[in-house]
Amino acid sequence: MMVSASAIAFAFWFTATPAQATPQRVKVKFVYPAMGAAAKKYVNLPMGSERYATVNGKRYVFVLEHHYHPPGFVGGPIGDHKGVTMYELR
């Protein structure tokens, strides 16, 4: 089997190119008013949507996901609902 020089060159380039590091997503523990305001902009998007934004100098990804709050939960809707989960990008 004969391999072309361009195939060999591509294989060398592909293996020699360093992989881009994917930012790590870290779930946010504290939500500040500016972060909540940013999340409210995205709540009407379709499930699974992701939006990236910088809030107070930090990069975040806002993801529309399934949320659940048990009966008696204070501070949000009760039961199953669509919600915005925030992750800090590091």
How much of the chain exceeds pLDDT 70, in percent?
A: 76
Choice between 32 and 2, residue whose per-residue pLDDT is larger: 32
Using the predicted structure, report yes or no on whether residue 83 has a pLDDT greater than 70. yes
Domain map (residue ranges) of the chain: 23-89
Q: What is the mean pLDDT of the chain?
A: 84
Rounded to two decimals, what is the model's pTM?
Answer: 0.67
Q: Per-residue pLDDT for 1 more than 60?
A: no
pLDDT tens, residue by residue, 29-59: 888 899 889 889 999 999 999 999 999 899 9
The answer to whether 60 and 28 have CB atoms below 8 angstroms apart is yes
pLDDT exceeding 90 applies to what percent of the chain? 51
